């Protein structure tokens, strides 16, 4: 076995073993307590199988994922633009700093309720509420990156009179990628949570709506089954998209021609 294979195996073991220990402890605790308030892991798996084969789990999961992706894209796009403007231009930063502090500290629940009251119980209001809650954190991270860009590198690009498109996309923007990646990873974890609250309060589909329905019937096994399915999707996105992208940026591959 090569060193690389051994290292990969060790990484898998260090990731899997703690998870197996938690699941084992969960099953043992449920067996000891023998309470309907804490179904065992196997009972949750059985409920998950039932929702997959006879229920609407995939539909509600897909709806939630779509809301997450749309609101995430909106928050990143607007947050990056505003962050660059505030980091690059002092007067823009002075004008927007107080508003940014307020936006960072407004509770997510307040934003959700106001969006529903002002715009109705619509899909647009739901997505907007999620995006609005995330935009300020993106702005803060990107603004800090824009403040510390390599000015000498920018001056060299100006000396060589590169086109505005090359200047922005190949010289300026790549310096912000690590900050954008940090905003994306933290934002994705935050948006998941906010979307569920949005669905619980004002939508008729999605994982959050289903969790609210199960709560009314004290169906804890179904609550945990949906949570488990949601966690699996998050882990897949993290493993397939976020980690490889993070490693690529950490290697500096984004700056290569």
Tell me what the mean pLDDT of segment 93-106 comes to.
Answer: 92
Nearest to residue 130, comparing CAs of 71, 209, 207, 193?
A: 71
C-alpha of 211 from chain center: 19
Residue 6 has pLDDT above 60, yes or no: no
In the chain the domains, ranked by start, together with CATH numbers, are 42-255 (1.10.3720.10)
Tell me what the mean pLDDT of segment 139-149 comes to.
Answer: 91
Question: Which has more pLDDT, 61 or 187?
Answer: 61
Q: How many beta carbons lie within 10 A of that of residue 73, not counting itself?
A: 12
pLDDT at 257: 44
Whole-angstrom CA distances from 86 to 29, 72, 80, 94, 233 are 52, 21, 10, 8, 35
Most confident of 7-21, 62-76, 156-170: 62-76
Q: Are 226 and 207 in contact (CB under 8 A)?
A: yes
Nearest to residue 137, comparing CAs of 92, 95, 191, 85?
A: 191
pLDDT in tens, 204-242: 889 999 999 999 989 999 999 999 998 888 888 888 888
Nearest to residue 30, comparing CAs of 41, 19, 20?
A: 41
pTM over 0.75: yes
């Amino acid at each position: 076995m090569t060193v690389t294979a051994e290292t990969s195996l060790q990484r898998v073991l260090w990731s899997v073993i703690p998870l197996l220990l938690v699941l084992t402890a969960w099953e043992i605790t449920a067996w000891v307590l023998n309470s309907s308030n804490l179904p065992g892991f196997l009972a949750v798996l059985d409920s998950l199988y039932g929702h997959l084969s006879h229920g609407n789990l995939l539909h509600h999961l897909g709806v939630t994922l779509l809301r997450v992706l749309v609101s995430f894209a909106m928050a990143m796009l607007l947050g990056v633009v505003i962050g660059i403007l505030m980091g690059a231009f002092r007067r823009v930063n002075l004008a927007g700093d107080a508003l940014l502090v307020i936006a960072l500290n407004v509770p997510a629940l307040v934003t959700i309720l106001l969006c529903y009251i002002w715009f109705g119980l619509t899909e647009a209001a739901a997505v907007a509420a999620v995006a609005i809650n995330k935009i300020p954190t993106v702005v803060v991270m990107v603004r800090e990156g824009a403040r510390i860009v390599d000015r000498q590198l920018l001056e060299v690009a100006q000396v060589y009179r590169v086109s505005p498109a090359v200047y922005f996309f190949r010289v300026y923007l790549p310096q912000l990628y690590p900050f954008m990646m940090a905003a994306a990873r933290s934002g994705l974890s935050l948006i998941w949570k906010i979307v569920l609250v949005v669905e619980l309060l004002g939508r008729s589909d999605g994982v959050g709506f289903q969790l609210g329905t199960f709560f009314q019937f004290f169906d804890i096994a179904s609550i945990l089954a949906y949570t488990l399915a949601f966690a699996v999707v998050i882990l897949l996105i993290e493993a397939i998209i976020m980690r490889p992208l993070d490693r690529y940026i950490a290697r500096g591959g984004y700056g290569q021609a």
